[in-house]
Amino acid sequence: MGIVLFLIKADFWTYNTYLENPKEIKVYKFKSLEESLKVGNFFLNSGVNDYCKTLVAPYDVDFFNVEQCTLLKEWIKNNRQLIIEAELVDIFELIEEYCTEAIKLGTGIEIEC
């Protein structure tokens, strides 16, 4: 469970394909189940899923294409206080970094909680 940046063109559910060639992905693994569930619950309850048209939730995974990465960056920029209050600043800084790179590369990210 974690956050995956695809370094080459990717589509939904491609993560497992790239496990065999780790040079094509950059992975952040959540430090604990608690961290994973906290991120999943935040996506589920904060409005970010509605804004980005995604379905990130505890024990679930979703892929963010370039358009959704752009929306996610906007949402993060406009909702920093919610992120601070949820004590998820470090995670969302990483998500924002991965989104920026995915937009630049024309790929996407995957978040699995």
Non-local (6+) Cβ contacts of 56 within 8 A are 39, 40, 43, 44, 48, 49, 62, 111, 113
pTM of the model: 0.89
Cα distance between residue 36 and residue 28, in whole Å: 11
Q: What is the pLDDT along the chain (113 residues), one digit of tens a residue?
A: 888 888 877 665 555 555 556 667 888 999 999 999 999 999 999 999 999 999 999 998 899 999 999 999 999 999 999 999 999 999 999 999 999 999 999 999 999 99
Q: How many domains does the chain have?
A: 1
Cα distance between residue 65 and residue 29, in whole Å: 20
Domain residues for the domain of 88 are 2-112
